[in-house]
Amino acid sequence: MGDAVELEAGGRTVRLSSPDKVFFPERGFTKLDLARYYQAVGPGILRALRDRPTTLERYPDGVNGEHFFQKRAPKNMPDWIPTAHITFPSGRSADEMCPTEEAAVLWAAQFGTLTFHPWPVRRADVDRPDELRLDLDPQPGTDYDDAVRAAHELRAVLEEFGGLKGWPKTSGGRGLHVFVPIEPRWTFTQVRRAAIAVGRELERRMPEQVTIKWWKEERGERIFVDYNQTARDRTIASAYSVRPRPHAPVSAPLRWDEVGVAHPRDFDLGTMPARFAELGDVHADMDDHRFSLEALLELARKDEHDHGLGDLPYPPEYPKMPGEPKRVQPSRARKQPPTAP
């Protein structure tokens, strides 16, 4: 596997063992290639992770090996990497790593971390998100181009309701993510409510192309606005994260004028460093903005009052939430016998 090497980042030295271990056989990318990639995009991925509780998606033997999600900070983590104490929907809690230096990303790469999954909160206040994250997820029969069309209409919805501005990125697969920096004033439940309002408005405007239906049997060949990605403990891969697919794609931040021009296949572990060297982090100004959710929450109130549109189902592992409808897929609900009076 070759002798260990040492990499520099922000004045710290990180030791990388087995640098020649192949992590992506299809492309020949090694563990050292992965670490050097994160070194090359260091300012960008640190901007996406800084002070955020972060789950590590680890592939110690490469993309074809066993993998796991590490939520709790490892016992061998250096003391210069801080943590935040977070609580899961189950009521259990953990201390998660919160990168504050580029070297923390290299340290995680040493242990086979391909993808970083940051919470939408900062360690100063882990109960109030500072990002509204919107996930446009292509369903069978749809593709990235369909997500692009939905993203452009989503941009218009955000502008109309509160003058919000979103920063788009590829998911690293077929989908698109749009992140909106918000004031950390609202709870996870309220931010999720705002995401539902966005999804419903987008569905009204593009009923044949977009859905917010939670049950797969109801979605059809449409783009699903995955509102539950805003629920507590649900995370989205960070910008610049490498995704665990054979060709080593990355989640690429985009300018709006690139949405529909660039394609996810354009961005991978081999190509992103050159783009970053030329353009820098095209989302570098995200943290200069903070928007209000008041207009979206008012839209949610009108949806409920005028149209009877209340809450939507949570993921199956969540405890039953106040106001949540029955968590049973429609086809099964139809088969259940009526309750005796």
- For the segment 282-326, what is each residue's pLDDT rounded down to a tens digit? 999 999 999 999 999 999 999 999 999 999 999 998 999 888 998
For residue 336, the model assigns a pLDDT of 60
> Is residue 237 over pLDDT 90?
yes
> Is residue 339 over pLDDT 70?
no
| pTM summary value | 0.95
Residue 259: closest CA among 197, 166, 182: 166
Q: What is the mean pLDDT of residues 10-22?
A: 96
The Cβ of residue 8 has, within 10 Å, a number of other Cβ atoms equal to 12
pLDDT in tens, 83-134: 999 999 999 999 999 999 999 999 999 999 999 999 999 999 999 999 999 9
> Is residue 36 over pLDDT 90?
yes
Give 338's pLDDT tier (boundaries 50, 70, 90).
Answer: low
For residue 337, the model assigns a pLDDT of 60
pLDDT in tens, 148-169: 999 999 999 999 999 999 999 9
Measured in degrees and rounded to the nearest 5, phi and psi for residue 125 equal -155, 95
For residue 332, the model assigns a pLDDT of 81
User: What distance in Å separates the CA atoms of residue 255 and residue 282, rounded to the nearest whole number?
Assistant: 7
The Cβ of residue 78 has, within 10 Å, a number of other Cβ atoms equal to 13
Measured in degrees and rounded to the nearest 5, phi and psi for residue 97 equal -65, 145
For residue 2, the model assigns a pLDDT of 72
For residue 16, the model assigns a pLDDT of 97
Residue 290: closest CA among 118, 77, 132: 132
> Is residue 226 over pLDDT 60?
yes
